[in-house]
Amino acid sequence: MMADRAIRCARIFDGHVWHDDAVLLIDGAHSAGVVTRGDVPAGTSMEDAQGSVLAPGFVDLQVNGGGGVLFNEQPTLEGIRTICQAHARFGTTALLPTLITDTPQITEAAIGAAVDAARASVPGFLGLHLEGPHLSWARRGAHREDLVRPMEESDLRRLVDASAALPVLLVTIAPENVTPDQVARLVAGGVRVSLGHTECSRETALAYVAAGAGLATHLFNAMSPLGHREPGLVGAVLDESALSAGLIADGFHVDPAVIRIALRAKAPPGRIFLVTDAMATIGTDMEGFILNGRKVHRSMGRLTLDDGTLAGADIDMAASVRFLENEVGLPFETSLLMTSRYPAEAIGIGAAKGMLRRGADADFVELDDACRVVRSHVGGVHAFDCRHG
């Protein structure tokens, strides 16, 4: 067993089971597994965790901004770097910068910035999420109506080309503006397809699952609801085992009772996992920002346009875990799974992210008794330490 570092902690969750009074072995940028103190190789450098719990780093598949940067307004390498650094403070060690529906020029810039971030191996950068522009006009939410449009052949080719240059490319689409054949071609080209911002029926949703769509974007929000005669996309997500879905747990997007109902109803192996849908405000005292030329207001943890439409979320992943525990009543272990292993598995990277077993990336977080981040690590390297800001 090879290891160059070891971190001792009172409790370690490896993404599958708990270990008490255990040690995480680290071999370079990878985990070498969790062992007892007596099984630490001789000569291995040992340190004590600063928190009371050590767990896999959080994986967030929908991050619009952070640290004062909104990706739509700053689709650059430095913008991505700032967003990743901002979320590392809150335990997120792998994320998808997310571009909301925008112009072709901004979309092109975002893809270019993501490719640059991949080449630069920006700590915490996982890939790219394009949320639009091929959505439903009826369920567009905060997406600008004049920017929503059908997918064309040139769009499809650009996405497939981008997928070849990125670790992960996730695209949210609506059946109203993308065909099943286009979805099949995207998936064949390595793109992960998520259904969202759509009025589609359950039957239509299942046709897109058959074409290769495997996820749904922010469950319950901007999608056809569950009805007793027409289950809609919500019903398709809960009943279809091949679908996984992100969910925003901030108290504004989904009621806690609905979260509990959804978790009881979800057919495995597909899972419900957490996303933050975080905006530029994370880690700042900003009172608002501009999105596609429109003012977004920040008040009491809520982000809205002038007409009251929710425009993303003002929550980090550690706070989302606390919400699941305190307001939804979930076991701590379930909350950790929903923020780490489940999202990693949803995009096919479960062997590398979301767990601390041998060979996985050494992305982990140290939490105190109140589930606040003490330190976070990306690839075995400190990304945040609360003692140093």
Active site residues: 277
263/345 Cα distance (integer angstroms):
17
Does an H or E element contain 253, and which? none
Closest by Cα among 121, 45, 30 to 84: 121
161 burial class (0-12, 13-18, 19+ CB within 10 angstroms)?
Answer: middle
192/187 Cα distance (integer angstroms):
6
**Helices 202-211 & 232-239 angle (0-180, nearest 10):** 50
What lies within 8 Å, CB to CB, of 105 at 6+ separation is: none
262/326 Cα distance (integer angstroms):
17
Amino acid identity at 306: D
317/278 Cα distance (integer angstroms):
9
Closest by Cα among 67, 133, 136 to 95: 67
